[in-house]
Chains A and B, each alone.
Chain A
């Protein structure tokens, strides 16, 4: 088996004295889509922050394509092919759509290529390219955010709560885009509270609870066995 694109080994992280990650072990194989599910407060978003370099771990290691990335800053990681789309709307509200796209060129792809890809996938963004991103609808903003994942051709894509605050129909559309990105060979770690849509596009799934990975496997199994954990018993 080849080296996994992301390997997390016994990762611990804390906010002050409160430990949030208590030994996370996780591996995402190259080219795979992994869904990471779990209830509120399980530590999913903290895991994303630590992997993307926004937060320092207290112990444990993260390997990206076999390279240990401890003490790497988030901008360095972004430039070498880690694309993180954080929780909420990850656009700059006071910049126009086109300016938002221009800034995506830090990841290494020249601006014209980014504009081509983004406008090709989302013609709506082309119509609104001179509009401030803050005035777009939630779905359009998320399209703009996804453009970065599409255009910058990352080695690993981290998606945090893509569906937050969006209509189910739009969430479905966005996950179609995720599936398309996956087809182009990008490895994806996709964090979700709402399991079904994410499981539809993923190859593997893991469940997080209380700062640990409590189960992992095929999406079908996970859904059957862990329904009460991931869906809080409601489904």
Chain B
């Protein structure tokens, strides 16, 4: 019985630290509607800052703590609200998520750049002090943490419910314009809540560092614990968030105490937050449908079938050329790029068209790869089965979140990615801890594609076919549904569409595409392991997809190529590895507001250039060619052969100008 008490007390300590973190997250979410996935990452950076102040600069502990919590953290919070997240709350959830994922990746890169990896120790507060209570030993650090959480809880309650500025914080969520008419300043209020939230992230990070160590990723992942706890209070209620955090802390502590220390069950502890989250999500009530916010969403153009087949063929030819010219190891890289591009294609369908964010897309590729390796059927059937299995897993992830909004789906996917990464992929029946599985190259109709070059070309072919599939879906009735659902779920509801199962189907389809990519990737590599499918990779996939344009197939292709190049560049300049992450992350912060990305700017540029060049080009062409075989212009059909005596049929006012030019030449 004594040990139960001891472990519960230990659990209360971690729970208290989680509560501090989670309350900061809830504060910023409820007052600005921006869900800060990078909350843990900020905690991580600030814990490193605290280490820097105390250990490297040698400042006294209390002074450093005051500096970090009272100056650095609020300043960062103010800065982030002012320049990064302002106005994100009113936009689609996916944009805010992508921007904060960008912050997360950027902060990890920044931390690696400023504090290169080396063992660092951050001691608990008053390490020598402690009290014996029965057979339980409580350290001063534990007590401080629990006291801090009580102070935070009380302080936040008073701030939000008893002060005018706290009331204004809650009011600014309801209606910032009205708050201005009352004489309040919504921006100041939001900046204050970000400042407080950041300080809480810092405090939580610093208090937890002696437990989880100064590690870029472990501290960043604390955000999952935080939002799992906050889910109990539906990301709104602070008291329930505290209850959730305490429960989570105690569960973790009990898992350490009572679960076997080896085998499968030993891997459960790190994934308890994820399991906790799924358990809560299943029990949550139906969310209300949101009225759409169509303003400002301009989609990238969707090419017609002819055009897409043409470009696909061009890409295949180009790939054939490059594959035959490139060195053998570079051929494999092209295969990797094709894999990434296919995974991003699944995001085009899900995020670009459907408006849902998945933070686990590469994990689904991992599921596909695992299935491909385990099935040991290196043929099209095996590949199709792997894709189906990945799709099934995708449906399983989306199923609990059926009744909730897109934010919960995205948060669940991140928890799922970590769950797979830390538990399933490392289990005995999967890749095993640090293990790999051997895979064979794919055979099509009995012929094995053994050559690297032909296999990679086959992967490019798979990308082209998938891209055509996605485009055909987009142009069809399904595409219209997707766009309608993204724009206004409540309008779709009034039309009688059942979006819930449709959403699960969409998610499954997207996971299936990613799984197919994973299966092909496994075939390419010959051996795959858990290390190939880290959850962090999924975040990079999302970021690069958005930077290059998640609404177009071209964006996926470019993004895939860039993601393949990223580790190559990092390997060629290891000292800049962190900086590249930082650039990518903060670049996504800048570009995340426009999901059409760089690809769309490219389209615009080429359209602009074409509009300038086409007329003069036609003029020259017209002069060169003999009269009889002159090519009809686009916009005029074959049978609209124009004659001087007849009127020129005009399909579209935009074509007027070019048609005139043609007439002028004749």
Contacts and interface: CB of A to CB of B under 8 A. Distances in A.
A103 B171 CA distance: 9
B167 A78 contact: no
Nearest to B161: A99
B279 interface: no
Interface stretch (B100-108, B177-185, B239-247, B395-403): B177-185
Interface stretch (A34-42, A88-96, A227-235): A88-96
B191 to A, nearest CB: 14
A95 B170 contact: yes
B164 interface: yes
Given A95-B171, A103-B167, A54 B182 contact: no
A94 B31 CA distance: 12
A92 B183 contact: no
Nearest to A99: B167
A86 B170 contact: no
Contacts of B184: 75, 103, 106
Contact of A84 (B164, B173, B179, B181): B181
A95 B174 contact: yes
Interface in B170-205: 170-171, 173-175, 177-185
A106 B177 CA distance: 14
Main secondary structure of the interface of B (DSSP, over half): helix
A102 B181 contact: no
B599 interface: no
Given A95-B167, A99-B167, A104 B182 contact: yes
Interface in A39-80: 52-54, 73-75, 78-79
B180 A78 contact: yes
A73 B180 contact: yes
Given A102-B164, A103-B164, A94 B181 contact: no
Sorting the interface of chain B by its residue count into under 10, 10 to 19, 20 to 34 or 35 or more gives 10 to 19
Contact of A78 (B170, B174, B182): B182
A105 B164 contact: yes
A107 interface: yes
B170 A106 contact: no
B182 A94 contact: no
Interface in B138-190: 164, 167-168, 170-171, 173-175, 177-185
Contacts of A93: 174
Given A95-B167, A102-B164, A103-B168, A90 B174 contact: no
A212 interface: no
Interface residues of A, number: 26
Interface string A94-114: 110001001111111001000
Interface in B216-236: none
A12 interface: no
Given A103-B171, A105-B164, A90 B180 contact: no
A32 to B, nearest CB: 22
Nearest to B173: A94
B183 A79 contact: yes
A92 B170 CA distance: 9
A86 to B, nearest CB: 6
A72 to B, nearest CB: 11
A107 B183 contact: yes
Most A Cβ at <10 Å: residue of B168, B174, B182: B182
A78 B181 contact: yes
Contacts of B168: 103
A92 B185 contact: no
B649 to A, nearest CB: 31
Interface string A129-157: 00000000000000000001000000000
Contacts of A106: 164, 182-184
Contact of B182 (A53, A73, A103, A111): A103
Given A73-B180, A75-B185, A107-B182, A92 B174 contact: yes
B180 A92 contact: no
Given A102-B164, A103-B164, A103-B168, A92 B181 contact: no
A45 to B, nearest CB: 13
Contact of B180 (A74, A94, A95, A102): A74
A94 B170 contact: yes
B165 to A, nearest CB: 10
Q: Closest 7 A-B residue pairs measured CB to CB?
A: A106-B183, A78-B183, A74-B180, A92-B174, A79-B183, A92-B171, A75-B180
Given A52-B181, A84-B181, A95-B171, 20 more contacts: A54-B181, A75-B179, A75-B180, A75-B183, A78-B181, A78-B183, A79-B183, A85-B181, A92-B170, A94-B170, A95-B167, A95-B170, A95-B174, A99-B171, A102-B164, A102-B167, A103-B171, A103-B182, A107-B183, A148-B182
